[in-house]
Amino acid sequence: MNFNVAVIPGDGIGPEIVNEARKVLDAVGAKYGHTFNYTEVLMGGVSIDAHGVPLTDEALATAKASDAVLLGAVGGRVGIDKWYELPPNLRPEAGLLAIRKGLGLFANLRPAYLYNELKAACPLKESVADAGFDMMVVRELTGGLYFGERKTEEVNGVMTAIDTLKYDENEIRRIAIKAFDIARKRSNKVISVDKANVLDSSRLWQKVVNEVAKDYPDVTLEHMLVDNCAMQLVKDPSQFDVILTENMFGDILSDEASMITGSIGMLSSASLAEGKFGLYEPSHGAAPDIAGKNIANPIATILSAAMMLRYSFDLDKEANAIEDAIKSLLADGYRTVDIMSEGMKQVSCSEMGDLICERV
């Protein structure tokens, strides 16, 4: 099959890690008979240098016209790079907000997986880490408290601030459908997280999620209160498969879930729109401190490319081949410097990419 991928290398280590992900996609293509056509798009600091803005309308249109977008990272050294003398809406990171909005991305997917070989990096008790975990946080991205009406005003002489948490049933339904679809590609279990003992928006959330669940009799659904979920994530993370939740709860829980894996260079992510379209990027930033040294860990970006295969192109077998290659390399002791430990074999960014290509 043929797929058109818009590629945004961005700044810092972006070009290095995206290059490795492209190499791996091409190796998968050669083995399984697919062609990935890439169109490079400028975003972030490099776009400011070329066009004066972090994302041009043409760049956004190119991304929109593709089947999926693969992004490295954008941004530089805050307070040092000249991009940060610009007003906030013209800085590199403004490109991220513009592209997420422009592409209608409403579902954020953050997997948290503990590799057997990297258990030592997990900050949890050994007995908890030994059980392992493999979960996916599905966070609603465009509604709730972060987008509701807000104001700060004086009421009876007292400064008062108000934020509004609003969801309509359509917003809840579309993210719930994504979560159930994703669960079908994993272990068929959804835990929907809310605060239904207090919030009206959470009670509507539960009602709509229960309705959607009726169309997925093969997927188990449980509801969990957000405070309990925050505790369960550190007590017994192995119980989770898909966590479905609203914007602010998801913001906090997805960071907690990634923290317990312990290794930032391994964390992939995706943001999905209606249909199959999505933007795939590592969870980490542009790491300007190590840019250009060929030492960055490309695995988060390569795993993001695997997510693109699975969720935008329905190429599950090919996605598994990438994930299995990474597991086998870690088992054989190959490490980039950020995850290096005694007795392991240290490799560069490009060597890690080459090794993954060899094994897919």
Give the catalytic positions in this structure: 146, 195, 227, 251, 255
296 scored as a contact of ligand NAD (CB under 6 A): yes
- Nearest-approach distance from CB 46 to ligand NAD, in angstroms: 12
Q: Which of 21, 96, 212, 347 binds ligand NAD (CB under 6 A)?
A: 96
The structure tokens listed for 272 are 């999905």
Three-state SS letters, 66-119: CCEEEEEECCCCCCCCHHHHCCHHHCCCHHHHHHHHHCCCCEEEEEEECCHHHH
Tell which residue, 243, 330, 349, 347, has the closest CA to residue 292: 349
Stretch of 75-83, 97-105, 124-132, 232-240 contacting ligand NAD, by CB under 6 A: 75-83
Q: Which of 108, 247, 261, 297 binds ligand NAD (CB under 6 A)?
A: 297
The Cα 113–Cα 253 span in angstroms is 14
- For residue 337, the Cα-to-chain-centroid distance in whole angstroms is 22
The Cα 264–Cα 23 span in angstroms is 22
- Nearest-approach distance from CB 292 to ligand NAD, in angstroms: 12
15 scored as a contact of ligand NAD (CB under 6 A): no
285 scored as a contact of ligand NAD (CB under 6 A): yes
Q: Which is nearer to ligand NAD, 29 or 72 (CB)?
A: 72
Residues 6+ apart with CB under 8 A from 75: 10, 11, 12, 44, 45, 92, 93, 285, 286, 288
Stretch of 69-77, 222-230, 231-239, 326-334 contacting ligand NAD, by CB under 6 A: 69-77
- Nearest-approach distance from CB 34 to ligand NAD, in angstroms: 26
Q: Which is nearer to ligand NAD, 199 or 340 (CB)?
A: 340
Answer for the pair 261, 267: CB distance below 8 angstroms, yes or no.
yes
Q: Which of 75, 143, 144, 262 binds ligand NAD (CB under 6 A)?
A: 75
262 scored as a contact of ligand NAD (CB under 6 A): no
Instruction: Give the β-pairing of 220-225 and 334-335.
Output: unpaired
* Positions in the binding site for ligand NAD (CB under 6 A): 13, 73-76, 78, 93, 96, 264-265, 281, 284-290, 296-297, 300, 338
